[in-house]
A and B are shown apart, each in its own frame.
Chain A
Amino acid sequence: MTTSTKRIAIEPLSRVEGHGKVTIHLDPDGRVVDAKLHIVEFRGFERFIQGRPYWELPVLVQRLCGICPVSHHLCAAKAVDIIAGRAQLTPTGEKMRRLMHYGQMLQSHALHFFHLSSPDLLFGFEAPRDKRTVTEVIRAHPDLAKRGVLLRKYGQEIILATAGKKVHGTGAIPGGINKNLRPEERDSLLHEIETILGWAESSVSLARDYTLEHLEQLAGFGAFPSNHVAIVGPDGEMDLYDGKLRAVDAEGRILADQLDPMDYLDYLAEEVRSWSYMKFPFLTEFGPERGWYRVGPLARLNVCTRIDTPRAETRRQEFQSHLGSVCNVTMAYHWARMVEMLHAAEKIEQLLRDPDLQSMDLVAPVSQPSRRSVAVLEAPRGTLLHHYEVNEHDQVTKANLIVSTTHNNEAMNRTVRRIAEDHLSGRKELTESLLNNVEVGIRAYDPCLSCATHALGQMPLHVALLDSSGATIDERSRG
């Protein structure tokens, strides 16, 4: 054994979307000096949409992802509304899009919690890998698995009714929507909404009970204080579809509020590090060292002042009564996610009962077109920003997409490092337990790594253990 530091690599990461690799760097005494989540695929969406006509963007850019295409579809649609000069949507246009968005939130949160993460929570982080699968969940907890599948299905049905297809639809067009909600679609969805609300409510309880029962273990698991960022409505209320950015620090102090997305370049910067295709965004004012932040369900609960639906608001208050007004427990993402799923179900019910959805006033009139636009919304995994510029011929000349997983890049790296520190402590080999825990930590963020690098495919995990000279001393892969 040399006296140099060591490197551990975990590859591939499983049950997350995209390709990832983790390296853990050890000093001569076996202490963790660094841990990095490398995103090693590159897709280049921002480049190859150049030259395309802007009205294609909502349909084109959503192809980044198969789990949250609706988020890209709607964010791009919001951006092209501005380019087309049709940003003042009709009530039907806006409400149909919101319905689509809440359907997306419901299906994606259900997918993440039940299909991807519940094996870790139900069987424990240390359970054998074969045990921690969705098929085992179906075997051991059939009712819970069924609920997860049907919650997701309901969200997909909402997307079908609003976007025309369950995956990669075309509903949102510049200035509005291309269809309304037919009465038979509404009635069919309303028929099931009480069941969905009940399941969403019990899912919050499930996540709450799990978190509180395991709080001793979870409180420090991959955890650290951080800033939090999300969009909020004018009064600071949670708004997942539209609003302005607010940032709070680890104690809940507001660092910035009501930031206009159009000006994001004034307050957000992205650092490039040579070892990953995924950039590291930070609040410019505070620099890369202090300005990084988290996004997603936990950040949104920390950032918002209230939730404007009663059941979810009660659950938000319950969350805060246990975990404080600002929570930095990484594993509390799951509980927060279920609070949001309930909020989405409540919003869906409100919208389904709104007669505006049967109006034929689908598209806003043209007022003032623009050659530059920036739009944000809260995707299931966190804040999503699309920035486009077009030329005088309606062709895209520039695009910048900052996706949730990119916002969480620094946080995910810190989570991995914290877990590695806690588990290795002098050992110089990779254990099954370490791999399991790294995966659980990354999965808390619900990362969509393909989206973040604009890369394609499933996400296998590769972990490498490196010494101080950079030599690999241990390596394990999963896929």
Chain B
Amino acid sequence: MSDSDEATAIQLIIDGTEVTGHAGQTILEIADSAGIYIPRLCWLENLTPFGACRVCVVRVNGRIHSACTLPATNGMVVENDTEELRGFRKNLIDMLFAEGNHFCMFCERSGACELQALAYRFGITAPTYPALFPHREIDATHPDILIDRNRCVLCARCIRASKESDGKGVFGFAGRGIQKHLIVSAEGGLAETNIDASDAAISACPTGTLLRKRTGFAVPVGERPFDRTPIGTEVESTTGPTPPHASTPTSTPAPAGKE
């Protein structure tokens, strides 16, 4: 990407609203700066976009793309908050719950989990699909860090953060399809890697998969990140148009009985 490209201002239309950015930005980045929330799970600021979760799917000039990976170009017409796309996203999130072992009722990331927060935002209060109840390994070997693969959604945020932010490469994937799973860079488990409890890789986890040991439940119910405001409001509260409809949360910020 050349300097001149970055400087080039571009205009696109997202959900009927004209927004501006510059060449080199992705659709998701431009939407964010305009205060338009495109739901996402595997995307994390400052990490290379990965396009794994497909939660950020949008229609660009009629075709489906992941907004986190597609560079914006001048004149693009982007559909984001449509019934069809909301349906796709809701289904994807629903399937992630069915694929893993996500028991919010005793998970210490409840209220801070992006998967749970997306589910609440999309009004998923109970699973649609039968749970697969896969057998997933826990790695508790490290004195200060726990991996609970039951909750892994294969977003690769830890893999990218370990590599790009921590400069380490502690995490990776093995297996394919339904067998795909998170591995660490030592046969003896996490304890034999060079990971540190302060690594960005741990904070990068959107679910309760990577945990700092003995810190769970320290934040009381009501004060956790998503207790008061639904996921996405941090984007929507920035400057930009108020979202016209719909992907406004279908649940109140802290629904009764929320875990």
Report chain A residues within 8 Å CB of B124: none
Tell me whether A477 is interfacial, beta carbon within 8 Å.
no
Which of B108, B220, B259 gathers most chain A CB within 10 Å?
A: B220
Tell me whether A393 is interfacial, beta carbon within 8 Å.
yes
How does the 8 Å CB contact mask read for A159-178 relative to B, with 1 for contact and 0 for none? 00001110011110110001
Tell me whether A440 is interfacial, beta carbon within 8 Å.
no
Which of B105, B108, B214, B216 gathers most chain A CB within 10 Å?
A: B214
Tell me whether A53 is interfacial, beta carbon within 8 Å.
yes
Given contacts A55-B217, A395-B138, list 7 more A-B pairs with CB under 8 A.
A53-B213, A56-B106, A59-B217, A63-B106, A163-B221, A165-B221, A394-B140
Chain A residue nearest to B208 (CB atoms) is: A56
Q: Is the CB of B214 within 8 A of A164?
A: no
Report chain A residues within 8 Å CB of B213: 53, 55, 394
Tell me whether A179 is interfacial, beta carbon within 8 Å.
yes
Tell me whether B141 is interfacial, beta carbon within 8 Å.
yes
Q: Is the CB of A56 within 8 A of B140?
A: no
Chain B residue nearest to A53 (CB atoms) is: B146
Report chain B residues within 8 Å CB of A174: 214
Q: Is the CB of A178 within 8 A of B105?
A: no
Chain A residue nearest to B144 (CB atoms) is: A394
Which of B141, B211, B216 gathers most chain A CB within 10 Å?
A: B216
Tell me whether A51 is interfacial, beta carbon within 8 Å.
yes
**Contact residues, A428-456 vs B (CB, 8 A):** none
Chain A: minimal CB distance from B142 (Å): 8
Tell me whether B222 is interfacial, beta carbon within 8 Å.
yes
How does the 8 Å CB contact mask read for B215-257 relative to A, with 1 for contact and 0 for none? 0111111110000000000000000000000000000000000
**Contact residues, B170-221 vs A (CB, 8 A):** 211, 213-214, 216-221
Residue in B105, B140, B218 whose beta carbon sits within 8 Å of that of A173 in the complex: B218
Report chain A residues within 8 Å CB of B105: 59, 63, 168
Chain B residue nearest to A366 (CB atoms) is: B214
Binding site for B on A (CB under 8 A): 51, 53, 55-56, 58-60, 63, 84, 163-165, 168-171, 173-174, 178-179, 393-395
How far, in whole Å, are A170 and B112 apart by their CA atoms in the complex? 14
How far, in whole Å, are A394 and B223 apart by their CA atoms in the complex? 27
Report chain A residues within 8 Å CB of B141: 393
**Contact residues, B69-121 vs A (CB, 8 A):** 105-106, 108
Q: Is the CB of A55 within 8 A of B214?
A: yes
Chain B residue nearest to A162 (CB atoms) is: B220
Chain A residue nearest to B214 (CB atoms) is: A55
Interface size on B, residues (CB 8 A): 19
Report chain A residues within 8 Å CB of B140: 53, 393-395
Chain B: minimal CB distance from A424 (Å): 45
Report chain B residues within 8 Å CB of A84: 214
Chain A: minimal CB distance from B92 (Å): 28
Report chain A residues within 8 Å CB of B138: 51, 395
Q: Is the CB of B106 within 8 A of A178?
A: no
How far, in whole Å, are A169 and B218 apart by their CA atoms in the complex? 12
Report chain A residues within 8 Å CB of B221: 163-165, 169-170
Which 6 A/B pairs are nearest by Cβ-Cβ distance?
A: A164-B221, A393-B140, A60-B106, A179-B220, A178-B220, A170-B217
Chain A: minimal CB distance from B251 (Å): 16
How far, in whole Å, are A53 and B138 apart by their CA atoms in the complex? 10
Q: A84-B214, A394-B213 are in contact. Are A56 and B219 (CB under 8 A)?
A: no
Report chain B residues within 8 Å CB of A55: 108, 213-214, 216-217
Q: A395-B138, A395-B140 are in contact. Are A164 and B106 (CB under 8 A)?
A: no
The 28 sampled A-B contact pairs (Cβ below 8 Å) are A53-B146, A53-B211, A53-B216, A55-B108, A55-B216, A55-B217, A56-B106, A56-B108, A58-B217, A59-B105, A60-B106, A63-B105, A84-B214, A164-B221, A164-B222, A168-B259, A169-B221, A170-B217, A173-B216, A174-B214, A179-B220, A179-B223, A393-B140, A393-B141, A394-B140, A394-B146, A394-B213, A395-B138
Q: A168-B105, A169-B221, A395-B140 are in contact. Are A56 and B216 (CB under 8 A)?
A: yes
Report chain A residues within 8 Å CB of B218: 173, 178
Report chain B residues within 8 Å CB of A169: 221
Chain A: minimal CB distance from B205 (Å): 15
Chain A: minimal CB distance from B146 (Å): 6
Chain A: minimal CB distance from B78 (Å): 40
How far, in whole Å, are A266 and B221 apart by their CA atoms in the complex? 40
Q: Is the CB of B220 within 8 A of A170?
A: yes
Residue in B146, B214, B219, B259 whose beta carbon sits within 8 Å of that of A178 in the complex: B219
